[in-house]
Amino acid sequence: MERVVQFTGPRQVEIATGESLPLPPGHLRVRTLYSGISAGTELTAYRGTNPYLTRTWDPEARIFRDAGPGISYPVAGWGYSEVGEVVEVSPELAGTPELPRPGELVWGIWGHRGEGLVPAERMIGHALPTGLAPIAGAFARVGAIAYNAVLAADIHLGEDVAVFGQGVIGLLTTRLAELSGARVTAVDALDSRLAKAAEYGAARTLNARTDAVAERIREATGGLGADVAIEISGAHPALHEAIRSVTVGGRVVASGFYQGDGVGLRLGDEFHHNRVQLVSSQIGGLPPQLAGRWSVDRLQRTFLRLVADGHVDVKSLVSHVVPVADAAEAYVLLDERPADALQVVLEF
C-alpha cells in the first residue's frame, strides 16, 4: 500500500493511500526510509503563499503569467529530500554504469511518499556514500542550496561574510562559507540558532531583534562593511539589512524564497548609494561563470562527500524524526513553533 503526504488546502495535511503502481521501463522503484521537510519552499505550499498557487509559470518565456494557478490543491508529494532502498530495477537497465542496484541505499527527489518510481537518469551516481548514516542523505538537496549560495558569493580567503538566517540551510551556509576561508558573522532572531551557528564556525553572532546589525558589522570590519552578505531567510527586512551591511561595491546573494511584496526593502537607500551588487541564487541553476564545470547534481554529490569526510555535520541538525502518520503535526510545529525545530524528517 502506497502512502503519500498531501496538502488538501492551506494548512491542511492528510496521508493519502493507494495501491503500488507497476514499474515503468527505464525506472527504479525505491522504498522510502526518510524524507526531509523543507521549512522554506515547502511551507509556502502548506500555507498557501506559493506563487504557483495563484499564477502560471511560463517555462519558455521564464516569467509568471496571471493566467490562473499553475498548481492547485490537493498538492501531493511535495518533498525534495528523500532517502530510500532500491527494491526493483527495470530489467533493460541491467549493467548501466553507476546505477544503484536492488538493496542499495540511495538519495534523491521523489517526494513525501512511501515509494518512488524514479527515472534511471536521476539515480545515476546516487548511491549513499559508504559509511554515511542513511538520514544524512536527506540533506543532499538542502546542502546543495547552501553550497550554491556560497559559490554565488564568490568568497575569497580571509573575507568577511555575513549570513542572514540560521535555519538549517543558513547553518550549512555558515559552515560552507567558513570552510571557504571566510570570517563569518551569523545573523538570526533566535539565540538558540545563533549558538548553533557558533558551533558551525561563525566568528561572531548577531541577534536581528536586539543588535544594530549593519552598524555592528561595520564596526567589526574597520568601518568598511562585509565583503559579501548571503541572505537565506526569505525575509525582505533581512535582505534590506544585508544590503546595509556590505561594503561599497559589495555583493549580496539573495538565496531566500521571498513571498509577496517587498515590504521593508528600500532600494533607494544603501543599495543605490553604495552600488551594491545583488545576485539571485536558486537551485534550478548555477552561477553563470561556473555553469560549464558545475551542475546541480555535482553540488549535491560534493556536499554529501563533505559530510561523509567529516567536514560538515548534519546529524546534529535533525531535531525531530516524525512517523509519516503524524506528518500534520510536523507541519504545525514548523509553521507555528519554528524556534523549537531545525530539520524535521518524516520516517516511513
Burial class (CB in 10 A: 0-12, 13-18, 19+), 275: exposed
204-207 and 115-119 as β-strands: parallel, antiparallel, unpaired? unpaired
Residue 100: predicted pLDDT: 97
Q: Compute and round to an integer the Cα radius of gyration of the chain.
A: 21
Residue 165: predicted pLDDT: 98
Where does the chain show beta strands of DSSP type E? 2-9, 12-18, 27-36, 56-58, 63-65, 75-76, 82-89, 105-108, 115-119, 160-164, 183-188, 204-207, 226-231, 246-254, 277-280, 318-323, 343-347
Residue 1: predicted pLDDT: 76
Residue 116: predicted pLDDT: 97
Main-chain phi, psi angles of 215, to 5 degrees? -65, -40
Q: What is the DSSP letter of 157?
A: T
Q: What is the pLDDT along the chain (348 residues), one digit of tens a residue?
A: 799 999 999 999 999 999 999 999 999 999 999 999 999 889 999 999 999 999 999 999 999 999 889 999 999 989 999 999 999 999 999 999 999 999 999 999 999 999 999 999 999 999 999 989 999 999 999 999 999 999 999 999 999 999 999 999 999 999 999 999 999 999 999 999 999 999 999 999 999 999 999 999 999 999 999 999 999 999 999 999 999 999 999 999 999 999 989 999 999 999 999 999 999 999 999 999 999 999 999 999 999 999 999 999 999 999 999 999 999 999 999 999 999 999 999 999
82-89 and 27-36 as β-strands: parallel, antiparallel, unpaired? antiparallel
Q: Give CA–CA dist 123/101, Å, rounded.
A: 10
Residue 67: predicted pLDDT: 84
Q: Give CA–CA dist 325/80, Å, rounded.
A: 18
